[in-house]
Amino acid sequence: MEPKTPSLALTLIACLLLLPLFSHARILTNSPSSTPASRVAFLQHLKGCHKGDKLNDIPKLKAYLHKFGYLDDYTNQTSPSNNHYFDGRLENALKTYQANYHLNVTGAMDSATVASMMTPRCGVADIVNGTNYMQTRRRHGTGRLHAVSHYSFFRGNPRWRASKTKLSYQILPGMPEEAVAPVARAFQTWAENTQFEFRRDDHAELADIKIGFFSGYHGDTGSFDGPGGSLAHSSPPKSGLLHFDSEETWAVGSVQKAFDVETVALHEIGHILGLMHSSVPTAIMYPAVGDGVTKELSRDDVHGFRALYKV
H helix and E strand count, the chain:
7, 15
Shortest distance in whole angstroms from residue 218 CB to Zn ion: 5
- Helix (H) or strand (E) holding 96, with range, is helix 88-100
Pick from 213, 234, 220: nearest CA to 167: 234
E runs forming strands in the chain: 26-29, 121-122, 127-128, 131-132, 138-140, 147-149, 152-153, 166-171, 197-200, 209-214, 230-234, 241-245, 250-252, 259-260, 275-276
Of the listed pieces 31-39, 61-69, 72-80, 183-191, which binds ligand NAG according to CB under 6 A?
72-80
Of the pair 123, 227, the CB lying nearest ligand NAG is at 123
Whether 268 is a known active-site residue: answer yes
Backbone torsion region of residue 304, taken as left when φ is above 0, otherwise alpha when ψ lies between -120 and 50, otherwise beta = alpha
Of the pair 27, 288, the CB lying nearest Zn ion is at 288
Of the pair 76, 194, the CB lying nearest ligand NAG is at 76
Of the listed pieces 31-39, 78-86, 259-267, 293-301, which binds ligand NAG according to CB under 6 A?
78-86
What is residue 264's three-state secondary structure?
Answer: helix
d(CA 280, CA 286): 6
Cβ atoms of residues 149 and 304 within 8 Å: yes
What is residue 66's three-state secondary structure?
Answer: helix
Shortest distance in whole angstroms from residue 250 CB to ligand NAG: 28
Of the pair 62, 243, the CB lying nearest Zn ion is at 243
Q: Which does 129 bind (CB under 5 to 8 A by kind): ligand NAG, Zn ion, none?
A: ligand NAG
What is residue 98's three-state secondary structure?
Answer: helix
Question: Residues 5, 129, 163, 221: which binds ligand NAG (CB under 6 A)?
Answer: 129
Q: Does 104 participate in binding ligand NAG (rule CB under 6 A)?
A: yes
The mark string for 215-244 relative to ligand NAG (x by CB under 6 A, - otherwise) is ------------------------------
Active site residues: 268
Residue ranges of the binding site for Zn(2+): 122, 218, 220, 233, 243, 267, 271, 277, 285
Q: Which residues here bind ligand NAG, judged by CB under 6 A? A: 76, 78-79, 82, 103-104, 112, 128-129, 155
